[in-house]
Structure 1
Amino acid sequence: MLTTRFTTAALVALGLVAGACSSETDKVQPASLPEHLTLGNPSGAVADEKQPTNYLLSKPQYAVSYHRDRGIPNWVSWHLSPEWLGSAARQDDFGPDATLPAGWYQVSSSSYTGSGFDRGHNCPSADRTKTVADNSATFLMTNMVPQAPNNNQRTWATLENYCRTLVDQGNELYVVMGSYGKGGTGSNGYKETLDNGRVTVPKRIWKVVVVLPPGNDDAARVGSSTRVIAVDTPNENGLDTDWATYRASVDAIEQATGYDLLSQVPAAVQAPLEARVDTGPTR
């Protein structure tokens, strides 16, 4: 589904303030985008302090649309291929992101302490193991979201493992993960915010995975038969451990968030791709 701007309902659901980023989605994306935005910039995020609820952090390892007032990303986008995988150990060095504009509150590792929610990665640690620096970058708090432990450690962990299995099978992936809404249920019960209101607990957590054989000009190679996996889960501790239970269409996620996903994919193939719910293997 091609969208050109956020809907009012979607902005409310995301907790975005007036004027935050709706106009940014009207901008035409440049022909050559950074690696992690090859298939598009879902919310038209820009590195402009005047857009604090849709602020672009373009890192070597992934791209982020950060929401200063929610203290979490709107979405994180990354490319996953064999070139990103290696033997670097998990660093576990959770910490604030010093690249945020001066004066912005920096969420810290302790912001989640005792909350009953995990510091849930968007771009997973195990997707960035080529170098220690790459792995360490995934532990920045701008890549984290308060995630119910069973959601993070079971349902999402198996999906993340499956994505790497697809790479081991000879594919490359483009992945976008995000969240929306407010209020989730962790191991200590329901919460809407952490850290004295500075960090929003999302209601839903979603992911879109585009699976391609190796090649060049990746956005142009996406066709109507390309496998696209879209998942939208409740941020709850009692959810099903099988991620396939929560498969959805890209259209449904766009409707819920107001984003324009896969905007750089040829227009002729977007409609069938985004309307379809994946039925492929899960392991």
Structure 2
Amino acid sequence: MAKFRSNHKRVGKGSTGAVVKVGVFSALIAGLFFIFNLFTGGDFEKQPADKELEYYLPAGGEGTVIQKATYALSYNETHEQAEWVAYKLSRSTLQSPFVNRTDDFRPDPDVPSGSADPNDYRHSGYDRGHLLPAADRAYSTSAMSETFLMSNISPQARQFNGGIWRELEELTREWAKDAGELYVVTGPLLNMEPKGVIGNNEVTIPGGYFKVLLDLEEPQLKAIGFVLPNTISYEPLYKFVASVDEVEAMTGFDFFADFLPDEVEAALESKADVDLWRFDKEKFRKRIDNWNNR
């Protein structure tokens, strides 16, 4: 395995940034992946995603952890939604032919206490917003259908869901194509003051959402977080960048706790460098000119 590199300095959009090598830890990571290979038969791409899900789930939280075929979530009964959803996003699946959108919203039978219902959102003024996007699982009808379980849905303001959240989802797919694969954890900010509740099940309307991304692919080992208010935005997406440590402080979760050696985890999660992630000015213009107006 080649050496990993990481940039540990958070800088502005115009800065070049300095690259700090963490090759001293690459042997530890190689050993970690060797252990993964024992469980996956040596080939991640040909194995179901659930073969390695257990390794990158967040620690902490109050929910019930449920593993699906290609993602995992922690369902919070108090708020009737997932407090986080974790999954891997790979270039190979994103480049597969897309199936038709299933749109089969339904309760999740795997939630022991019973999940939210599609009717909770009816006439609420809020979108049934995906945490794991349907387009991230468009390579398979069954995989896409799983994203329409109500445990993966959260009440999002319409111009947020179709605006800046859409922009972040689309960019995340582009970043995964660039990198080869990304590990993603996303969810509502349930520690924030909520905007209210909807439906007979009293589904919490979150004040905001988070997303953290981990790239373990060459040539650049890196991580980044985002914290977004659940409302329309006219600001550039990079304005909402946070370090993984900052997102952990806001949510109470410990991301990738059992996935990386402690030294590597600390180095990656302490800083977020926007220069290591390709932001798209054209998507920003589309959001401002079109998406925000729908």
TM over 0.5: yes
* CA offset digits 1:115-174 (Å, max 9, x no partner): 221111111001001210111110110001111122211111111111211233352010
Unaligned runs of 5+ in 1: 1-30, 46-52, 185-190, 215-222
Is it true that 1:157 corresponds to 2:151 in the alignment? no
In our comparison, the structure showing a higher alpha carbon Rg is: 2
CA contact (8 A) 1:83 1:130 kept: no
Unaligned runs of 5+ in 2: 1-34, 40-49, 281-294
What does residue 217 of structure 2 align with?
213
Worse overlay, 85-94 or 74-83: 85-94
How far off its partner does 1:243 sit? 2.0
Separation in structure 1 between the aligned mates of residue 192 and residue 250 of structure 2, nearest angstrom? 13
Match among 57, 78, 99 for residue 88 of structure 1: 99
Separation in structure 1 between the aligned mates of residue 77 and residue 182 of structure 2, nearest angstrom? 28
What does residue 243 of structure 2 align with?
249
What does residue 282 of structure 1 align with?
279
CA contact (8 A) 2:213 2:225 kept: yes
Match among 108, 111, 115 for residue 100 of structure 1: 111
Separation in structure 2 between the aligned mates of residue 170 and residue 260 of structure 1, nearest angstrom? 23
What does residue 254 of structure 2 align with?
260
- 1:169 aligned counterpart, secondary structure: helix
How far off its partner does 1:38 sit? 5.7
Is it true that 1:63 corresponds to 2:72 in the alignment? yes
What does residue 42 of structure 1 align with?
58
Identity %: 33
CA contact (8 A) 2:75 2:81 kept: yes
- CA change 1:63–1:192 in 2 (3 A) is same
Over aligned residues, Cα RMSD in angstroms? Answer: 2.3
How far off its partner does 1:44 sit? 4.9
- 1:274 aligned counterpart, secondary structure: helix
What does residue 219 of structure 1 align with?
none
Separation in structure 2 between the aligned mates of residue 242 and residue 108 of structure 1, nearest angstrom? 34
Separation in structure 2 between the aligned mates of residue 275 and residue 44 of structure 1, nearest angstrom? 19
Question: When the two structures are superposed, what TM-score results if normalisation uses the length of structure 2?
Answer: 0.71
- 1:41 aligned counterpart, secondary structure: coil
CA contact (8 A) 1:204 1:234 kept: yes
- 2:239 aligned counterpart, secondary structure: helix
Separation in structure 1 between the aligned mates of residue 207 and residue 229 of structure 2, nearest angstrom? 6
More helix by share: 2
Separation in structure 2 between the aligned mates of residue 161 and residue 62 of structure 1, nearest angstrom? 18
- CA change 1:232–1:35 in 2 (3 A) is farther
Worse overlay, 128-137 or 110-119: 110-119
Separation in structure 2 between the aligned mates of residue 209 and residue 244 of structure 1, nearest angstrom? 14
- CA change 1:55–1:242 in 2 (3 A) is same
How far off its partner does 1:229 sit? 2.0
Separation in structure 2 between the aligned mates of residue 154 and residue 71 of structure 1, nearest angstrom? 24
Tell me the amino acid that sits aligned with residue 59 of structure 1. Answer: K
Match among 113, 123, 126 for residue 122 of structure 2: 113
- 1:95 aligned counterpart, secondary structure: coil
Match among 218, 223, 230 for residue 225 of structure 2: 230
Separation in structure 2 between the aligned mates of residue 183 and residue 245 of structure 1, nearest angstrom? 21
What does residue 195 of structure 1 align with?
199
- CA change 1:276–1:170 in 2 (3 A) is closer
Separation in structure 2 between the aligned mates of residue 278 and residue 199 of structure 1, nearest angstrom? 35
Question: When the two structures are superposed, what TM-score results if normalisation uses the length of structure 1?
Answer: 0.74
Separation in structure 1 between the aligned mates of residue 211 and residue 270 of structure 2, nearest angstrom? 15
